Structure 1
Amino acid sequence: MKLHPLCWPLLVLGTLAHAEVPGEGVEFSHKDWDLVCLRTGTCVAMGYSPGDSLDGISVALSRDAGPGTPFTGNLLFADQIEEPPTEPVSLVLDGELIDTAKQHGPKDYWLDEYASRRLVNALAGSTEIRFVDARGRAWPLSGAGATAALLKMDELQERIGTPTAAVRRGDDEELVPGPRPVSPPVTYPPLVDTRPEDAQLADDPALRRALGAALSAHQPCPDLHARPLQIERLDEHRLLVSTQCSANSYNTATGFWVAEDRPPYLASLVTEAGTRFDRLRANIGSWQMQSPRGDCMKRSFWTWDGTRFVLTYRAGYVRCRGFKDGAWAVPSYVN
């Protein structure tokens, strides 16, 4: 199961009465654990082996919003492990064998509701957590940061003080709100065909000046004046202009702007780290590796709504821990 991951600083974790997930979603990280929540209230907490090893494991604990919803656990072994684990693979807590993980693939497992809950309970304490295969090989799971991530999940799902809370339990399960509705998908009008004369605008220095004016220190494009411009028409008076912004041995980052089709070419930046424009779907995609090993990737998509490109997907934080493209494909924003 490939679920997938702005790294927030640790917030003060108090009992906030109404801390529902904001519309843009939440990405949160502390020590060896991360948390991602969609605006619907579905959350995934993801933990890793201790330290920065590239041959460990990662566990994802998912829970939907709403009263009575259980945890679902998934276990993934890093691609850097030379040999896959030998069946069966068991969850062991403080030396006690709790349950056997169910196999999806050679390095991909899931935990049933009982094992997932026992794991959550263990993470809230100081239990030694390991996954052990039939040959006795053991892979530890770090508990550092787990309480912060799970408490944040409880807070955002408004279940602190309820029986299904991961950390601070109580009695009032009826007060837990259900999931928020899914937003309608972004629709886009047909794009106007690109005209032969549009390409000639790439030679106008005023267009590059307009593109440069739309950049910032946080969104630079160092190759703007050294690379050719590509131009696609969006509608009767707006263009999509793109050019390579930077490149290294494992990534090429392309800048995309929406600009007027006549001077002064008023322009707005969509992203300085895009990958390609899909004209058929009217969207810009970005998938950018964060490591030369290829073990972590950020993904975003923006769709043209007839006025501007709006964010429709973001998986913005993934740890580089030896998993191809990152352990879990968990977006914090989907529309």
Structure 2
Amino acid sequence: MKPHFLFWPLLAMSALGHAQVPDEGLQFSHKDWDLACNKTDECLAMGYSPGDGIDGVSLALQREAGPDAPISGYLLYADIKAEPPVVPVRLMIDGADLGELNQDGDTSFSLSEDQVEALMGRLSGSAEITFVDRQGSSRTLSDAGAAAVLIKMDELQERLGTPGAAIRKGDENEEWVPRPRPRPPAVEHPPLVENRPGDAQLADDPALRQALAKTVNTLHPCPDLEAGNSAKPLTIERLDEHRLVVSTQCSANSFNTATGFWVVEDRPPYLAQLVTEAGTQFDRRYAQISSWQLRRALGDCQLHSYWVWDGMRFVLSYRNGYNRCRGFRYGAWSMPTYLR
């Protein structure tokens, strides 16, 4: 299994203060590096090969909140059109051999603590960082933007000036670094009521389609909802005794189909509430709407979200809001900036 879908653990609560990541999470980018942090105050810094090519590498540096939290390092080779490396793969910094990486998969690797420490000491300057396989094929990691991203991570986790800081180390007391916040408990959904014989017939009511259309604006279009004789059919699933989830295709292209989802009452005037105009499917088993939207046809970047029915509304429970289109299948790293 590819390791780039990193799981964000449930972390213990502390009586000390917390770091500064907002509840909705945070994303930050500078040059060839990105940062994603979520409400547990865990952060993931990601760097790429220079340029916009699709045959490079990406490095992820992951760190939890809290005193003395280590930084873990992971490497991925682009895997859609690029050739996989011939193992072993070695880390080279300014020509110095820092040793072999641990192989996790055909194109995925992890770094040792010593290799991560060596990297951290050079990312704030101007270093030549390469990964070389057994056949001598070399991939360069850009350090452009790394310092800004790592300083931002230290700032959000309130580590600036401590021995555990990634960049600006100092002698401040490491125990003052805020502990992680716990991830809220998962949304629990009630049992759904089975569909009734008359539910599907509501799809033929023009008033229902009109109620859906009133919730859509120009910023979130759904052109296939009102397309005259070519309007897409409505799909209806019952949620409870008086509410339904209604869906229909909103738009489509060669690599994506965007489906709109609404919660409506089961009789006029329906009182429709839009959940998303860019969903993918509704899963009755988990009372969950999911959205997987590719950002381009190559399939190397995507937007990914989940909403769970809590008995009153669909609650956003997960959002992977951004990843770069650089030749990695579905994007190099999972970046859940929002967690619930």
So what's the TM-score if we normalise by structure 1?
0.93
- Amino acid across the alignment from 1:292: A
Q: In structure 2, what is the equivalent of residue 321 of structure 1?
A: 326
Q: Tell me how many residue pairs correspond in the alignment.
A: 324
For residues 308 and 195 of structure 2, the distance between their equivalents in structure 1, rounded to whole angstroms, comes to: 18
Shift of 1:83: 3.0
1:123-138 residue pairs with structure 2 within 5 A? 123-138=123-138
Q: In structure 2, what is the equivalent of residue 2 of structure 1?
A: 4
Shift of 1:307: 0.4
For residues 4 and 142 of structure 2, the distance between their equivalents in structure 1, rounded to whole angstroms, comes to: 20
**Does the 8 Å contact 1:89/1:131 carry over to 2?**
yes
1:1-335 residue pairs with structure 2 within 5 A? 1-3=3-5, 20-80=20-80, 82-172=82-172, 173-225=174-226, 226-335=231-340
Shift of 1:18: 7.5
Alignment deviations for residues 126-152 of structure 1 (CA, whole Å, 9 cap, x no partner): 111111122221111111221221111
Shift of 1:47: 0.9
Partner-residue secondary structure (3-state), 1:35? strand
Residues 51, 191 of structure 1: alpha-carbon distance in 2 compared, 3 angstrom cutoff: same
**Any stretches of 5+ residues in structure 2 without a counterpart?**
7-16
Shift of 1:227: 0.5
For residues 209 and 117 of structure 1, the distance between their equivalents in structure 2, rounded to whole angstroms, comes to: 60
For residues 130 and 53 of structure 1, the distance between their equivalents in structure 2, rounded to whole angstroms, comes to: 16
**Does the 8 Å contact 1:124/1:166 carry over to 2?**
no
| Worse-matched range after superposition: 286-295 or 51-60 | 286-295
For residues 81 and 118 of structure 1, the distance between their equivalents in structure 2, rounded to whole angstroms, comes to: 30
For residues 190 and 287 of structure 1, the distance between their equivalents in structure 2, rounded to whole angstroms, comes to: 25
Residues 217, 160 of structure 1: alpha-carbon distance in 2 compared, 3 angstrom cutoff: farther
Residues 85, 211 of structure 1: alpha-carbon distance in 2 compared, 3 angstrom cutoff: same
- Amino acid across the alignment from 1:223: D
For residues 55 and 231 of structure 1, the distance between their equivalents in structure 2, rounded to whole angstroms, comes to: 44
For residues 120 and 218 of structure 2, the distance between their equivalents in structure 1, rounded to whole angstroms, comes to: 42
Shift of 1:214: 1.1
Partner-residue secondary structure (3-state), 1:256? strand
Shift of 1:264: 1.6
**Any stretches of 5+ residues in structure 1 without a counterpart?**
5-16
So what's the TM-score if we normalise by structure 2?
0.91
- What value does the CA root-mean-square deviation take over the aligned residues? 1.7
Alignment deviations for residues 243-297 of structure 1 (CA, whole Å, 9 cap, x no partner): 0001111111100011112222111111111110000110001111111111112
Partner-residue secondary structure (3-state), 2:224? coil
